[in-house]
Amino acid sequence: MSIWAVVEHGQALQAIERASREPLGSEVLLDVTHAGVCHSDLHFWKGYYDMGGGKLMKLAERGVVLPRAPGHEVVGRISKLGPQAQGLELGQLCIVYPWLGCGQCDVCRSGQDNLCMKPNAIGVLQDGGFGQQVSVPHPRFLVDVGAIDPAFAATLACSGITVYSAIKKVMPLRPDEPVVLFGAGGLGLAAISMLKAMDHRQMVSVDANPAKAEAALQLGASHFVDSSQPDLIGRIQALTQGPVKAVVDFVNHSSTAAVGLELLQKNGKLVLVGVGGGEIVLSLASMIFRPRTVQGSVTGAPSDLRDVVALAQSGKLRPIPITRMPKAQANQALHLIEEGRVSGRIVLES
């Protein structure tokens, strides 16, 4: 099979050949039909994350070996079933749960594969949706697409479950209690749509690019705040009538997380999701006088994918804007994201 692979970090992806293999045991092989392009594919391509304090974490330190096909938002058609793969049909169109762990530890056995300390994620540590085929170790990592648009369905495997899992961490809230959302890119927009589908009514979307206001408001944000203008905290709190219980930061950069922490009321929670990078200074005494929780959140569990797909199939979850491109334009897609020119998600089609 051919894959579009990162051969050298920061250099153009190349189409290379990989031997395909027969599925063993409970493994399932799929022909990729759709692959969403996520901001973390951009980090994967560049080869590092900004860890704050001038430190970079290189992907090689996380066990990534090149060449590797990125792409963890995958929809594919089942082409081969291992002898013990039960409950699926050849030709079935499925969403792939990509956040695989070791499959052996207590965390994996409890269904929290995304929290395994020995990750084996598709599109990171094994070839992903930028290739022609992907395989999963067990049918439990596949969810039938049903009647949803498969390009939208692909985005549920990362942006969908990531926002769902992050929102669950700030719940329960009354529908009219404000949730402040930093970032109106793929994740921020998906979060607005998700909260709306959960019948929430007060979503304040914050982004440095005012061109993103329209998409945010159309998906159901109650307000859009341009973070490039002065007095950001004052302007947000004028809309929320004071400090808030819930902030989800999909940028997770020094500039946004610091504001997020400052916006919180006593017992409020800041959930950090993006990988913008940097660091914040935490006044320790302030955590006593105004106790708050800062919680990190990474993707979601297989059960979250099932929940999100069910929500999408119910028709309540409105798709984020999707730009379809042929897979051969994978390089162009990464450049568009790098330049911040994408509203919503690019999905590569095979």
15 or 107: CB nearest Zn ion: 107
Subset of 25-64 contacting Zn ion (CB under 5 A) = 38, 40
Q: Is 274 in the site for Zn ion (CB under 5 A)?
A: no
In this chain, which stretch among 12-20, 92-100, 108-116, 330-338 interacts with Zn ion, using CB under 5 A?
108-116
Q: Is 184 in the site for Zn ion (CB under 5 A)?
A: no
Residue 241 burial (C-beta neighbours within 10 Å; 0-12, 13-18, 19+): exposed
Phi, psi of 262 (to 5 degrees): -70, -25
Q: Is 116 in the site for Zn ion (CB under 5 A)?
A: yes
40 or 132: CB nearest Zn ion: 40
Applying CB under 5 A, the site for Zn ion has a residue count of: 8
Q: Peptide bond before 67: cis, by omega within 30 degrees of 0? A: yes
Chain centroid to CA 280:
23
40 or 227: CB nearest Zn ion: 40
- Give the length of the chain: 350
Phi, psi of 336 (to 5 degrees): -60, -40
Q: Is 124 in the site for Zn ion (CB under 5 A)?
A: no
Q: Is 101 in the site for Zn ion (CB under 5 A)?
A: yes
DSSP 34: E
Q: How is residue 35 written in tokens?
A: 């692959």
Name the minimum Å distance from CB 96 to Zn ion.
13
Selected from 105, 213, 239, 336, the binder of Zn ion by CB under 5 A is 105
Name the minimum Å distance from CB 124 to Zn ion.
9
- Residue 76 contacts residue 33 (beta carbons within 8 Å): yes
Selected from 15, 16, 88, 102, the binder of Zn ion by CB under 5 A is 102
Name the minimum Å distance from CB 56 to Zn ion.
20
- Residue 5 contacts residue 14 (beta carbons within 8 Å): yes
Residue showing tokens 């529908």: 175
Name the minimum Å distance from CB 304 to Zn ion.
14
Alpha-carbon distance of 114 to 120, in angstroms, equals: 9
Element (H, E) at 24: none
Selected from 93, 158, 247, 257, the binder of Zn ion by CB under 5 A is 158
Chain contacts with Zn ion (rule: CB under 5 A): 38, 40, 101-102, 105, 108, 116, 158
